[in-house]
Amino acid sequence: MEYNATPEKEVKRVSGMFTGIGILMILVGCFAVVAPHIVGKAFALLVGLAFIIASVFIFVWAFSAEGGVAVVGRIAWSLVSLIAGLIIVTHTSLSAKAFTAILIAYFLAAGVVRLAAAFAQRGVPGAGWLGLNGALSLIIGLIFVASWPNSAEWAIGLLIGIDLIFSGWTLILLSQEAKSEVLSE
């Protein structure tokens, strides 16, 4: 099979995919904003379940080790993962506070990185949208720093929702910008 797509066709194809992904991100983001408690608990449950599932794989992997110390070490690792997963799943409120703190750090860091990327790419079409996305992420992080830990119960879902909405719009706008650049050549 031979690949013969022209740059114009490729940009149209990819920009359509980016637009579709952007729309899905906006829809999921709207749900998260409307039901932040559900998304926050689902997030905590997902992380907890990931630890529990990982503990099973680590336990099975333990018996491929050579030597008793390695087997015991891996079984201990498996038990630590299992306990962490069970604590997260059964104590989602405490987990929410820890996750909120991590998400706040993420939004602050992502905001700074996106602003730096936009600044480095100033003059490039779409860099302004990236800068706006970075500024909004930074503002979101700062707002929740001011209200943490009281905001932990609803902040996770709201933070994720807002970021998904703005990231979705950024993808849509960047894809439209790329398409218009190719068509204007």
DSSP-assigned letters across all residues of 136-154? HHHHHHHHHHHHTTTTHHH
Q: Tell me if 73 is assigned to some domain.
A: no
**Mind listing the pLDDT tens digit for each residue in 102-156?**
778 888 998 898 889 888 888 878 788 888 988 998 998 898 888 877 777 777 7
The Cα–Cα gap between 157 and 38 comes to 7
Q: Tell me if 155 is assigned to some domain.
A: yes
Sequence-separated contacts (24+) of 65-70 with Cβ below 8 Å = none
Q: Which domain holds residue 34?
A: 10-39+91-179
Q: Tell me if 146 is assigned to some domain.
A: yes
Q: Tell me if 128 is assigned to some domain.
A: yes
pTM: 0.57
Q: Tell me if 184 is assigned to some domain.
A: no
Q: Tell me if 138 is assigned to some domain.
A: yes
Band of pLDDT at residue 49, cut at 50, 70 and 90? very high
- pLDDT of 177 higher than 70: yes
Q: Tell me if 137 is assigned to some domain.
A: yes
Greatest mean pLDDT among 27-31, 43-47, 118-122, 139-143: 27-31
Count of structural domains within the chain: 1
User: What are the start-end ranges of the E strands in 30-172?
Assistant: none
The Cα–Cα gap between 29 and 42 comes to 14
Q: Tell me if 108 is assigned to some domain.
A: yes
User: How much is the pLDDT for 185?
Assistant: 66
